[in-house]
Structure 1
Amino acid sequence: MACMALCFFVLKVIILGGFVKHRDTPIVKANIQALSFILLISLLLCFLCSVLLIGHPNATTCIIQQVTFGLVFTVTVSTVLVKTITVILAFNVVKPKRTIRCLLLSGDSNSVISICSLIQMIISRIGLGTSPPFIDIDLHSEPRNLIIVCNKGSLTAFYCVLGYLGFLALWSFTVAFLARNLPDTFNDPKFLTFSMLVFCSVWVTFVPVHHSTKEKFMVAMEVFSILASSAELLGCIFVPKCYIILIRPDENSWNALKNRRGSK
């Protein structure tokens, strides 16, 4: 799993480098350049987040694991949400309150991501204040061995972090689903819809499995869920763009963009 995390991390760095190199091309600009870079960097941190769960635990890493996991994934999902809402507003499909509309279309969408992340930080801070994670010994998985693990402390706080993340993911999926038929040049709403559907499926499956497994297998399941959800977001949202940038550069031009819009 550590090798998988590092391989995905290297792949993500390559994709990020490709987007930076081609930042002035239509496909990067059409996909809301600033939000795309925020999403790429947050996914980069998601893969690194899984590495924190692997190896010998200590008091510091136990605390960092939970805080980092909640915060990084909240930034990722809230960025997808803002990205989807911005696409909808661009097509004037809905007419939300003027304040929200001006906030998103003015390019100040980072504030929305910051607010979502701040709420997650407050939830995590309350959990750490009531019952912080601590070093524990697993005596049941292997009777002949003592396995040192991170006890999450308050399971209620951990599931509150997951619950808030699930709420954002479900909201993102709902908004993306409603926008799936928009005539976007690069079909971004459809990719966002599918990516959030798979993301929700991974974490809905994770909850009952996490609840029924024991310590070290629980950690393995958590690492797998982090890698799977991060990889599918990477594949669904950015791989199609990379295909056009690298394999079909003829479609990544302003003339091709105009022809597509004209045909639609």
Structure 2
Amino acid sequence: MCAEDQYPNSDQDHCLSKVVTFLACGDPLGMVLACTALGLPVLTAGALGVFVKHRDTPIVKANNWALSYILLISLILCCLCSFLFLGHPNTATCILQQMPFGVIFTVAISTTLAKTITVVLAFKVTTPGRTMWQWLLSGAPSALIAICSLIQGTFCAVWLGTSPPFMNIDAHSEPAPLIVMCNKGSAMMLYLSLGYWVSLALLSFTLAFPARNLMLVFCSVWITFLPVYNSSKGKVTVAVEVFCPLASSAGLLGCIFAPKYYHILLRSERNILQRLRSKPLWGKINILGGVCVCIT
């Protein structure tokens, strides 16, 4: 029998000291995740630049440029938060992995929910002056984002006050190395936070049938996260924590913005108000999930 920081040799007649290890950017797996976590923010920043450059075009206006800006910026921050999971963890990074990231990711999901509600109401409203029309023109979508983020912030505050994450050494997952990783502190708060994200995504899925592909991607990623996370060990656990936010962020970026960029960059002749008013193209913009209301 050896101590926790030791392991037996092949002949099992002597104890050897375990080597401390963690998911570093220099590891093959860590390098792939780091490149992805760096490439996605660059791609998202380019997408934001395209939206800013073409902010006066009908497609950008029809897709609520303010909510689109919020969503793109939050996705950039979410991807950059993945670097908190790479490298040698400490108390500060363990807390930052869950608290700020949880709020930022909630902003992204709640913005998607606000865009979905706006799309649904836009197609229901036909007469200016109605209550739902006033909701569209007011700051209600931004208020919804603030409320959803405040709820997540409350969860994080309770998590931090009762059982905050901390640095831990895992001596049992693998025989030879000592794996330095973050302990979540409270598994209940982790699942509560995750369940809140999935609930917002399911609400968006329920409200708008055209958003089914987007929300199915998101829900599939995070529902799969639970069994994979609980069954993985060591560095693989950290890799799963990095992969899921990156995959869901890429899904949000691709499903929401890729069709818009296709029309903005490759079919710019269609990005004209007169063309958008034609029936065939109007139907295509509807499918893309744009808020096709009268642009003033």
Question: Normalised by the size of structure 1, how large is the TM-score?
Answer: 0.88
For structure 2, the 5+ residue unaligned runs are: 1-32, 284-296
Task: Give the counterpart of 2:216 among 197, 202, 206.
Answer: 197
Determine if contact 1:139/1:145 at 8 Å carries over to the other structure: yes
Where 2:208 maps in the other structure, the secondary structure is helix
Mapping for residues 124-163 of structure 1, pairs under 5 Å: 124-163=156-195
Contact 1:86 1:105 survives alignment (8 Å): no
Kept in 1: contact 2:125–2:132 (CA 8 A):
no
Of residues 260, 263, 267 in structure 2, which corresponds to 1:241? 260
Give the Cα separation in 2 of the matches to 1:110 and 1:77: 13
What percentage of aligned pairs have identical amino acids?
59
The structure with the larger Rg is 2
Q: Residues 206 and 93 of structure 1: is their aligned pair in 2 closer, same or farther, counting only changes over 3 Å? A: farther
State the aligned residue count: 248
- SS state at 1:91 partner: helix
8 Å Cα contact 2:166/2:184 also seen in 1: yes
- Shift, 1:261, TM fit: 6.9
In 2, the alpha carbon distance for the partners of 1:236 and 1:62 equals: 31
Mind listing any 5+ residue stretches in structure 1 that lack a counterpart?
178-189
Match for residue 3 of structure 1?
Answer: 35
- Specify which structure has the higher proportion of helix: 1
C-alpha contact 1:141 1:216 (8 A) present in aligned 2: no
**What is the rounded CA distance, in whole Å, between the counterparts of 2:171 and 2:77 in structure 1?**
32
Match of 2:88, SS? Answer: coil
For residue 263 of structure 1, report the CA deviation from its aligned partner.
7.1
Question: 1:142 offset after TM fit, Å?
Answer: 2.7
SS of aligned partner of 1:150:
strand
Aligned equivalent of 2:150? 118
| Alignment map for 1:96-107 (pairs within 5 Å) | 102-107=134-139
**CA deviation vs aligned residue, 1:62-115 (integer Å, no higher than 9, x gap):** 001101231112111111111111111112279xxx977744431442111000
* Candidates 190, 215, 232, aligned match of 2:234: 215
How far apart, in 2, do the equivalents of 1:139 and 1:216 lie? 12
| Cα distance change of structure 1 residues 101 and 52 upon mapping to structure 2, 3 Å threshold | farther
The reply to whether residue 260 of structure 1 matches residue 275 of structure 2 is: no
2:253 partner SS: helix
- Aligned AA for 2:195? G
Q: Is the 8 A contact 1:53 1:219 kept in 2?
A: yes
Which residue number corresponds to residue 71 of structure 1?
A: 103
How has the CA–CA distance of structure 1 residues 263 and 166 changed in structure 2, closer, same or farther, with 3 Å as cutoff? closer
Shift of residue 215, structure 1, vs aligned partner: 3.4
Specify the SS of the correspondent of 2:173: coil
1:173 alignment counterpart: 205
> Normalising by the residue count of structure 2, what TM-score does the alignment of the two structures yield?
0.79
Q: Following the alignment from structure 2 to structure 1, what is the Cα–Cα distance between the partners of residues 62 and 281?
A: 16
Aligned partner of 1:183 in structure 2 is: none
Verify: 1:53 aligned to 2:85, yes or no: yes
Alignment counterpart, residue 22 of structure 1, candidates 54, 68, 88: 54
Structure 1 103/254 Cα, relative in aligned 2: closer, same or farther at 3 Å? closer
Tell me the equivalent position of 1:224. 243
**Cα gap change, 1:101/1:247 in structure 2, threshold over 3 Å: closer, same or farther?**
closer
Q: Are the structure 2 counterparts of residues 141 and 114 from structure 1 closer, same or farther at C-alpha, using a change threshold of 3 Å?
A: same
* Closer, same or farther: CA 246–212 of 1 in aligned 2, 3 Å: same
Residue in 1 that maps onto 2:114: 82
Cα distance in 2 for partners of 1:216, 1:175 equals 38
Q: Distance in 2 between matches of 1:67 and 1:104?
A: 31
